[in-house]
Structure 1
Amino acid sequence: MALKSTIYKAELTISDMDRGYYATHALTIARHPSETEERVMIRVLAFALHASERLEFGKGISDSEEPDLWEKDYTDAVQLWVEVGQPDDRRLLKACGRSEQVVVYSYASASDVWWKAMNSRLDRAKVLKVINIPSEQSQALEKFASRNMQLQCTIQDGQIWISSGDQTVEVQPEVLKQPG
């Protein structure tokens, strides 16, 4: 018998002063049986950083044809493709061919090793942006994971703060590759 996904609910309030985006989103997040809570929280962070009315969670781990997050226009063309973790170069190059913008959020202590192996293979990916979330910050975010979450995200001048209750984590993403 196959294991089922665990459902997480999050009320995410976003104050993104850099983009002028202010909204509260009621998120339903399906956690794949092989997925860690740390990865779930990186997906939530990625949602907060790209939030819009059309952004939605894809099947991610469950389906090789869908990303962790994506935004499509009204013609169903993919505008934004977001991957979390350490995807292989073939998957990323395919995503770059299908979307106007591709963003990877890597995390965990092995990210440096992954990026050293991928960097030269992804030179031709002109729409790709790669961001690393330092492992101590992703592990601090993991502590916020629960089946029902109330989260606040504030973004100002490139600084990111995620809060749950009276706890706050500052996230300082490291850009490893810019589009172009």
Structure 2
Amino acid sequence: MAAGATIHTFAVQLADVDRGVYDDFTLRVARHPSETDAYMVTRLLAYCLEYQDGIAFSEGVSSTDEPAVLVRDLTGAVTVWIEVGAPDAARLHHGSKLADRVVVYTHRDPTKVAAAWDGKKIHQAEEIVLRSFDSGFIDGAVVALGRRNTITLSVTESQLYLNLNDAVLMSVMRDETIR
């Protein structure tokens, strides 16, 4: 855990109808002082929306060779590389060579995020998925954020329903390929 990190606890109820994933779990998320609340909430949503056996948060901003979230198989090999925000092309290139699947979750304008990758060398770029949310969705979640949180997250037909500490938010989850 990073020095000076703020710990947020999340009691999560997940019902992802689209993937057939239903589970209740508790997460302790360390927010590094240089990390914005919007980035942390996006990182949390990426974890929940990719939830499966072997998923874990990396060391975060202090780790330069791992994504924000990753999935490892039983041998320890990285199977899913999950970036958050606006990673550079070199990180995506590295991740797509290392993992079977790469996905980016962003709280920023996805058009601007993808534009930064134009013309850059990215291994299997056409396989990388860029996920974004409706404008204001992440900001609404940030307003409801506390140190101890209760979340109910439901996903059906790419529609997200989030109840965070009794604040109810909805968003369409948009998937785009980067090329």
TM-score, normalized by the shorter chain, greater than 0.5: yes
Residue range with higher mean Cα deviation, 78-87 or 60-69:
60-69
Partner in structure 1 of residue 166 of structure 2: 166
Partner in structure 2 of residue 29 of structure 1: 29
Residue 130 of structure 1, CA deviation: 1.1
1:177 and 2:148 correspond: no
Partner in structure 2 of residue 132 of structure 1: 132
Residue 143 of structure 1, CA deviation: 1.7
Deviations 1:82-139 (A, max 9, x none): 1100010001100111111111012235x43232221443474244111123441111
Any conservation in 1 of the 2:11–2:24 contact (CA below 8 Å)?
A: yes
Taking the aligned partners of 1:161 and 1:85, their CA distance within structure 2 comes to 21
The amino acid that maps onto 1:151 is I
Secondary structure of 1:175's counterpart equals strand
Taking the aligned partners of 1:56 and 1:144, their CA distance within structure 2 comes to 24
Partner in structure 2 of residue 147 of structure 1: 147
Taking the aligned partners of 2:175 and 2:64, their CA distance within structure 1 comes to 25
RMSD: 2.0
How many residues of Structure 1 are paired with residues of Structure 2 in the alignment? 177
TM-score, normalized by length of structure 2? 0.90
Residue 174 of structure 1, CA deviation: 2.2
Residue range with higher mean Cα deviation, 51-60 or 34-43:
51-60
Secondary structure of 2:116's counterpart equals helix
Secondary structure of 2:19's counterpart equals coil
Distance 1:124 1:21, change over 3 A: closer
Partner in structure 1 of residue 114 of structure 2: 115
Taking the aligned partners of 1:52 and 1:79, their CA distance within structure 2 comes to 11
Q: Which runs of 5 or more structure 1 residues have no equivalent in the other structure? A: none
Taking the aligned partners of 1:138 and 1:157, their CA distance within structure 2 comes to 19
Any conservation in 1 of the 2:14–2:24 contact (CA below 8 Å)?
A: yes
Partner in structure 2 of residue 19 of structure 1: 19
Secondary structure of 1:107's counterpart equals coil
Residue 178 of structure 1, CA deviation: 6.6
Residue 12 of structure 1, CA deviation: 0.8
Q: Which runs of 5 or more structure 2 residues have no equivalent in the other structure? A: none
Runs in 1 of length 4+ with deviation above 2 angstroms?
111-114, 119-127, 132-135
Any conservation in 1 of the 2:154–2:161 contact (CA below 8 Å)?
A: yes
Taking the aligned partners of 2:28 and 2:128, their CA distance within structure 1 comes to 27
Taking the aligned partners of 2:22 and 2:63, their CA distance within structure 1 comes to 31
TM-score, normalized by length of structure 1? 0.89
Taking the aligned partners of 1:176 and 1:17, their CA distance within structure 2 comes to 20
The amino acid that maps onto 1:88 is D
